[in-house]
Amino acid sequence: MDGGNVMRICFVASGDLDAVLPEADVALLPLTCLGEVSYERELRGETALFEAVALKSKALKSVVAAGCYTDARGLKRKSVVVAERGRLLGVSDCTCRIDGSEHGAGAGVKVYETAAGRLGIVVGEDLLFPKVMETLSLSGADAALCSCGPLTEGLELTLIRAEAFFFGLPVALCAPGYAALSDPSGRLAFASPAPVSAFMLSKEREYRLVETRRPLTFRNIKEF
């Protein structure tokens, strides 16, 4: 794994965990990757999908972020499982539910500390809500990884460009059959329909001092 200012991201738009490139620092897979994962069946040892993600990250000595649909005693959510070098770092859920979708909303967004950098996770429809990306940016994420379902006429590509520009961090997206990445300038730096692809991302971020004028008064501030 590269410990410098470059992060090699592998996108698996079509395929499973076995398709991840061995030299990747980070592997990103779409929501459809693992299918439905039951927490109860995982705990009983009837399935080992979370373990498979952890084992793949151990074999590659990298970070693996794989999408799935989780079921916790009937509460279904869109989720991303994140593991690094054999250790399960956590599961991030989509925090927004639209029009009574069968998949409920989880709580909170997460930034994972990894050897590849601070990685923020965006799940499915959370991409439609800029506050999610803003929270990741303010939390110091070096990059945002978005695991999606099928694309809707290119809307997601517009959103990753806009949010990367607004919040100053690169946004990588992996959906079934397509992968893309926008740099903080809002430029689509990478896009590919290939089943497996890779991109070398610079982790350097720029900071600017932004000043605004607003009608406020602080004349009585000393009274507090």
The model's pLDDT over 2-47, given as tens digits with 9 standing for 90+, comes to 456 889 999 999 999 999 999 999 999 999 999 999 999 999 999 9
Give the three-state DSSP class for 180.
strand
Please tell me the predicted confidence (pLDDT) of residue 221.
61
The residues facing 190 across adjacent strands are: 181
Please tell me the predicted confidence (pLDDT) of residue 224.
53
Give, in order, the Cα–Cα distances in Å from 209 to each of 133, 206, 212. Answer: 20, 10, 10
Angle among Cα 124, 171, 37 to the nearest 5 degrees reads: 30
**Contact between 65 and 80 (Cβ < 8 Å):** yes
Residue 126 has pLDDT above 80, yes or no: yes
**Contact between 86 and 55 (Cβ < 8 Å):** yes
- Give me the DSSP letters along 84-137: ETTEEEEEEE-----TT-SSB--S---EEEETTEEEEEEEGGGGG-HHHHHHHH
pLDDT over 70 percentage in the chain: 95
User: How far apart (Å, rounded) are the C-alpha atoms in residues 29 and 113?
Assistant: 19
pLDDT over 90 percentage in the chain: 77
Length of the chain: 224
- Among 221, 122, 213, CA closest to 164: 122
Please tell me the predicted confidence (pLDDT) of residue 129.
94
Average pLDDT over residues 198-214: 82
Alpha-carbon 185 to chain mean position: 19
